[in-house]
Amino acid sequence: MTTQTTQEPEQPALTGGGGGVRAERLFSLWTLATGLLVLAILALILITTTNEAWPVLRAGGFRFITERTWDPNPQTGDAVFGALSFMYGTAVSSLIALLIAVPISVGIALFLTELAPRRLGAPAVTIIDLLASVPSVVFGLWGVLVVAPALVHVYRWLNDVLGGIPLLGDVFGVPVGTGRSFMTAGVILAIMITPIITSISREVLSTVPQANKDAAYAVGATHWEMITGAVFPHSFAGLVGAVMLGLGRAMGETIAVALVIGGATAITPNIFAGGNTMAAIIVQQFGESTGLFTAALIGLGVVLFAMTIVVNLAARVVVNRAELRMRGAAG
């Protein structure tokens, strides 16, 4: 709109106007460079952190991820760095979070795509957006000072009821007094990953062709039978991707978990006991660490980075492929 307007001479100089070939080339190269920055940062993260953690990774080898002891300042002998307890904690707390968050998130997504009247849809989306905008440290603060002390009573009750049963008794064991446990971490994580699973699920569910739904109704399905018979089969792959993205978030969440999980180095089936995750231990101990200890914490970061990259990449591939396939089916 603001560029050169008209050119008066009989022969318009079409090659000269518009700002020069060199400027064009410079500009396109500059934008390309900023685009490549993403790849450069990801590569640099891997290289620099691995390099810094190398002394520990080389000394420990595979024992770094198979050893369950984490003793940075032993009374005698060398420090022992084993990530297994924290990998276990990450897995357990993420699993609990998914078990709680997935049904709720898919439920909300179904509510928004299949049930909600239009004037209820917008406020519902706002609620989910607001839930996503609360900083994780605020959830952590609320979790450690309000939720954990409140949930202890529920844990005690569950332990009373189920504690005697052989296998369940181990899982629902004696709760710690503070309530800071795998379970509390799972509950807080579930709240935090609900928005992302909901928003991706909603995108996936909205690609189900109306024709499929109408066909289900036409053979006499109820609303719910239409959802299980037409919506779920069509969007299953995409929903799996959404759940994996949620898993990636849960694994990487640091601060809230660091506050509510209790900070114990332990592998126990008791979900009411304290534990720790990879992300949480880094932030808890980073301030007081030096030398090899710092390197070991950075090593935990490398393992965490690798795991989240794999999960996220797989999730994106699944979602993208599912969306492509669906668009093809819808067209």
CA-based nearest residue to 303, from 45, 70, 44, 94: 45
Give me the least distance between CB of 123 and another protein, in Å please.
Answer: 10
Q: Does 111 bind another protein (CB under 8 A)?
A: yes
Distance CA 87, CA 62 (A): 14
Q: Does 227 bind another protein (CB under 8 A)?
A: yes
Q: Does 2 bind another protein (CB under 8 A)?
A: yes
Judge whether 260 and 140 are in contact, CB under 8 Å: yes
Site map 169..198 versus another protein, x via CB under 8 A: ----------------------x--x---x
> Which residue, 198 or 276, has its beta carbon nearer to another protein?
198
The interface region with another protein, picked from 69-77, 155-163, 217-225, 266-274 by CB under 8 A, is 217-225
Judge whether 68 and 84 are in contact, CB under 8 Å: yes
Give me the least distance between CB of 173 and another protein, in Å please.
Answer: 23
Per the DSSP assignment, residues forming a β-bridge with 81 are: 70
Longest dimension (CA), the chain: 97
Distance CA 242, CA 196 (A): 8
How is residue 4 written in tokens?
């050169």
> Which residue, 77 or 117, has its beta carbon nearer to another protein?
117
Question: Binding to another protein (CB under 8 A): which residues in 29-48?
Answer: 30-32, 34-39, 41-42, 44-45, 48
Q: Does 122 bind another protein (CB under 8 A)?
A: no
Question: Binding to another protein (CB under 8 A): which residues in 294-313?
Answer: 297-298, 301, 304-305, 308-309, 311-313
Question: DSSP of 4-45, one letter per residue?
Answer: -----SSS--TTT-SS-HHHHHHHHHHHHHHHHHHHHHHHHH
Question: Binding to another protein (CB under 8 A): which residues in 261-280?
Answer: 279
> Which residue, 253 or 271, has its beta carbon nearer to another protein?
253
